[in-house]
Amino acid sequence: MRKTTRKFPEARLEGIGACQGVAIGTAFLVDDPRGRVVRVYLPAEQVDAEVARFYQAVRIAQLQVQEAIERLQAALGAERAYILESHLLMLQDRSLGEQIEAFIRENHANAEWAVRDVTAQLLDVYAKITDDYLRERGSDIADVSHRIIKILSGSKMRDLNDLANGAIIVADDLLPSVAADLDPAKVLGFVTNGGGWASHTSIIARSLGIPSVVGVKNVAAVVRSGETIIIDGATGAVISNPSPETLRFYSEQRARQQQQQIFDIEERELPAITLDGIEVNLRANIELIEEIEAFRRFNASGVGLYRSEFLYSQAATGLPTEEDQFEAYKFLAEMSGRDGAVIRTFDLGGDKLHLEGFKPERNPALGLRAIRLSLVVQDIFRTQIRAILRAANQADGNARLKILLPFVSNLDEVREAKRIIAEVEKELRQQRVPHAEDVEIGVMIEVPAAVILAEPLAREADFFSLGTNDLTQSMLAVDRGNENVNSLFDPLHPAVLRAIKYVAEAAARMQIKINVCGEMASNPAQVLVLLGLGLKDLSMTPSAIPAIRRLVRSINMSAAENIASQVIALATPAEVHRYLQSHVPHLGAPFLTSAQLSKSTA
Ligand code: PEP
Ligand code: MG
């Protein structure tokens, strides 16, 4: 691996630790959330060839544009081709080409990065122009830049796993689907400017066990590709160009963590029972089928949440077929241990994956997502239900798979979904396709309307699953992935705690089962409060299971109830944090980062 020839002093940044673990590697800057443009630092002997590669791409772009102009002229007449003619002029502009060449030579940059950087500077200038017509020309520059980058990098997206062994990705943001494709054996970790503890990219990082830090302001401006970088996913620390002492300190930390992982495995058979004999159910959240390995390693009693929408990022065509899904669900049914698996129907939209053919929305968190989308594109929903009902018939009995409906805000959505499920059952019966009937149907409680309507919803549902990530987002009106409001995203906010208590009591009154599948269930201090509120069925990121098992085995349920009754009476998040810090300091920060805590208690 190559290092920069320039040596910069150690720089320290801080963000939110998304996945615990220390990683020490080489920084790779990645330009866009899809991971298309990566900053590569070139050795001196490759610079001439890179310049030649750039000019070759410009020539190809010129030919492409020339051809397009001829096609347009033939079809629509000469005057319609003027926009593309301006693109051609730009591609022929010697001074622009020379600026990009100079950037490559001075910075030992790869051509993609140089094009992106130089044109971004130009775009900044254009954005400030007051004349509307001239300002609009900025979009032509962006277009030409995009064309050259596409030629340089090929039309395919760059596979971030091919960067180099020991790479740590540094990006403004990464899409959850891109994070889901990372191979932890190749990519040691990632750092992003955007994101929060409960954003889907962070959830994926925890599932894969990739150390990561998110919400690090300006990280892509401070860290350079090729530099040595350390990230500590427990504290949120990011250090570039570490001194020898810093390197030694973090190498020791990493060794200690590896030792802890061995203890975790040794303790996995111990029952999750409190000191006063109350059993707590520990299940796992799974996004990728391969994670079933981690699920087994940590000895979860079942899969409490399978985020089935991630099948979209894994399917070859973008749309998982009934057979793709049947195989995945059957595998889960067979492998998911005592309690089987809860298949959440596609939670597409929001900050997750998007369905081809739907325009990006202005406010996706409140948009056409999850159950709403399933009820609009019913074919996709029906196919999914067919696959689940068929798979539920496998292994030893129907109870092994359950259906969970995401983002319910209205009783009618549940009724409509149940009507469709009954129709699919009937169709399978008529077609004599082996399938299960009477599969349990659960409702996710993750928006305030569902909290308030918990009692009537309980009449429609077989069980509730508390999605504390979206619940926190929607109760507090705080975007779970927005770094500017990270310190406000707080599941221990008294409003969230009171909502949880309200739902837990409604479920108890109505005698339906309830579990928690949001990220609260992965944090020891938060779990203590959940247990005290009566929530004893928890589904979490698999790697959190050892710490939660240890917590359960170390407490009395009566003490947890006492703590919960105290914090529920408090009025501000800061008071809740202070209470927990003073009464159960050994559990660590109620959040996994000191950054969030210091802000909320300041
Ligand atoms: C939640 O919102 O808490 C949840 C479990 O679902 P997701 O994180 O996938 O939105
Ligand atoms: Mg959710």
CA 305 to ligand 1: nearest atom: 5
Contact 128, 53 (CB under 8 A): no
Over residues 205-214, the mean pLDDT reads: 90
pTM of the model: 0.77
Helix (H, G, I), strand (E, B) or coil at 513: strand
Query: In this predicted model, which residue has the larger pLDDT, 502 or 132?
Result: 502
439 pLDDT above the threshold of 60:
yes
Task: Label residue 259 left, alpha or beta by phi (over 0 means left) and psi (-120 to 50 means alpha).
Answer: alpha
Q: Could you say which of 108, 354, 435, 517 is catalytic? A: 517
Confidence of residue 601 (pLDDT cuts 50, 70, 90): very low
Over residues 217-222, the mean pLDDT reads: 84
Of 17-26, 33-42, 104-113, 305-314, where does mean pLDDT reach its minimum?
Answer: 33-42
Of 200-209, 390-399, 584-593, where does mean pLDDT reach its minimum?
Answer: 584-593
Take residue 322 and report the two structure tokens written for it: 């009934």
Domain definitions of the chain by residue range: 11-34+158-262, 44-153, 265-597
Over residues 270-278, the mean pLDDT reads: 96
22 pLDDT above the threshold of 80:
yes
Tell me which H or E stretch contains 546.
helix 545-554
- In the structure, ligand 2 is a single-atom ion and the residues with CB under 5 Å from it are 446, 467, 470
Strands, DSSP E only, in 197-272? 212-214, 228-232, 237-240
Mean pLDDT estimate for the chain? 87
CATH superfamily of the 265-597 domain: Phosphoenolpyruvate-binding domains (3.20.20.60)
Strands, DSSP E only, in 429-531? 441-445, 463-466, 513-516
Query: Residue 309: CB within 6 Å of ligand 1?
Result: no
Write down how long the chain is: 602
Residue-wise pLDDT tens digits, 222-240: 888 889 999 999 889 999 9
CA pair distance 302, 404, nearest whole angstrom: 15
Work out the burial of residue 73: count CB atoms within 10 Å of its CB; fewer than 13 is exposed, 13-18 middle, 19 or more buried.
middle
CA–centroid distance, 257 to ligand 1, in Å, is 28
Architecture of the domain made up of 44-153: Orthogonal Bundle (1.10)
Contact 240, 11 (CB under 8 A): yes
Q: Could you say which of 87, 108, 200, 577 is catalytic? A: 200
136 pLDDT above the threshold of 70:
no
- Relative to beta strand 341-344, strand 167-171 is unpaired
Work out the burial of residue 244: count CB atoms within 10 Å of its CB; fewer than 13 is exposed, 13-18 middle, 19 or more buried.
exposed
Query: Residue 347: CB within 6 Å of ligand 1?
Result: yes
- How far the first Cα of the chain sits from its last, in Å, is 43
CA 285 to ligand 1: nearest atom: 5
Closest ligand by atom to 465 CA: 1
pLDDT at 264: 81
Of 121-130, 464-473, 547-556, where does mean pLDDT reach its minimum?
Answer: 121-130
Residue whose Cα lies nearest atom 4 of ligand 1: it is 467
577 is catalytic: no
Give percent of the chain above pLDDT 90. Answer: 56
Query: Residue 236: CB within 6 Å of ligand 1?
Result: no
Query: Residue 202: CB within 6 Å of ligand 1?
Result: no
* Residue among 201, 342, 446 whose CB has most ligand 1 atoms within 8 A, to mutate: 446
Q: Residue type at 68?
A: A
The highest-confidence range among 89-98, 132-141, 180-189, 194-203, by mean pLDDT, is 89-98
Confidence of residue 470 (pLDDT cuts 50, 70, 90): very high
200 is catalytic: yes
* Residue among 206, 306, 469 whose CB has most ligand 1 atoms within 8 A, to mutate: 469
Of 62-71, 105-114, 386-395, where does mean pLDDT reach its minimum?
Answer: 62-71
Fold of 11-34+158-262: Glucose Oxidase; domain 1 (3.50.30)
Contact 46, 278 (CB under 8 A): no
